[in-house]
Amino acid sequence: QQQVKQSPQSLIVQKGGISIINCAYENTAFDYFPWYQQFPGKGPALLIAIRPDVSEKKEGRFTISFNKSAKQFSLHIMDSQPGDSATYFCAARGWNTDKLIFGTGTRLQVFP
Amino acid sequence: ETGVTQSPTHLIKTRGQQVTLRCSSQSGHNTVSWYQQALGQGPQFIFQYYREEENGRGNFPPRFSGLQFPNYSSELNVNALELDDSALYLCASSSRSTGDNEQFFGPGTRLTVL
């Protein structure tokens, strides 16, 4: 019940295309869902986060879509760029804890 | 504003040894969390420190221990190192007094156990 399942494991997208990464969770006590971007040799960097009281949040080219009833959320990267090539992790956190539960990661490659 | 810093960057130890990793939290942050990230995996929560006390622990044995100092910096200590302890160890700082309590990660310490 503590797991966050992430797919796909890897993704190849052409420059200018849309990258979509999906996550699913079981624990209904989760109330905060961040996405992190990690480049090789670096720590994860917070990209965007959402709470379950909204269905969508957009920041620049990055959008989170959230489906509370299906217990699923996804990251959409519009107009993908080669500089977006990195590993992306979804995560979840309960209302009474700071412990982040991470997905297994998606390696995104954007080709020119 | 200074971000989260960790030292050392890389470390090589042999099985059975002990190691200490260090973390300086971002300015204004009072909470430090430690995560272990094995190769090709997502980070796994080890524990968190708030007000110099452990405040939440993941599924890690007692040989993983830590400290938080009055300036909010922190140490992770691992005793009796095992081969499976080889991983990237990440420190994240946050502030319980602001917003969503977002966690900001340092660059990590790469530990190799031979």
Best residue in A9, A97, A99 for a mutation probing chain B (most B CBs within 10 Å): A99
- pLDDT of B27-81, one tens digit each? 888 999 999 999 999 999 999 999 899 999 999 999 999 999 999 999 999 999 9
The beta-carbon neighbor of B104 closest among A46, A99, A101 is A46
User: What's the CA gap between A33 and A65, in Å, rounded?
Assistant: 11
B43/A89 touch (CB, cutoff 8 Å), yes or no: yes
- For residue B49, the SS3 value is strand
B42: nearest CB among A41, A42, A103? A103
Residues of B in contact with A36 (CB under 8 A): 105
- The per-residue pLDDT for B9 is 96
Mean pLDDT, residues A6-28: 97
Q: State the residue for tokens 């990258």.
A: A19
| Residue A41 pLDDT | 87
Tokens, residue A80 = 């993908």
Indicate the residue of A42, A51, A102 with minimum beta-carbon distance to B107.
Answer: A42
Confidence of residue A2 (pLDDT cuts 50, 70, 90): low
pLDDT (tens digit per residue) in A28-64: 899 999 999 999 989 999 999 999 999 999 999 999 9
Residue A87: predicted pLDDT: 98
pLDDT band at A12 (very low <50, low <70, confident <90, very high): very high
User: Does the pLDDT of residue B108 top 90, yes or no?
Assistant: yes
Tokens of B109: 């310490």
- pLDDT confidence of A1, banded at 50, 70, 90? low
d(CA A44, CA A88): 8
A98 has pLDDT over 90: no
DSSP letter string, chain A: ---EEEE-SEEEEETTS-EEEEEEE--TTEEEEEEEEE-TTS--EEEEEE-TT-SEEEETTEEEEEETTTTEEEEEESS--GGG-EEEEEEEEETT--PPEE---EEEEEE-
Using a CB-CB cut-off of 8 Å, the residues of chain A touching B100 are: 32, 49, 51
What mean pLDDT do residues A89-110 have? 93
**A51 touches B at CB < 8 Å:** yes
The alpha carbon of residue A27 is apart from the nearest alpha carbon of chain B, in Å, by: 16
B82 vs B102: which has the higher pLDDT:
B82
CB contact under 8 A, B103 and A104: no
Q: Which pLDDT score, from 0 to 100, does residue B96 have?
A: 73
Give the 3-state secondary structure of residue B84.
helix
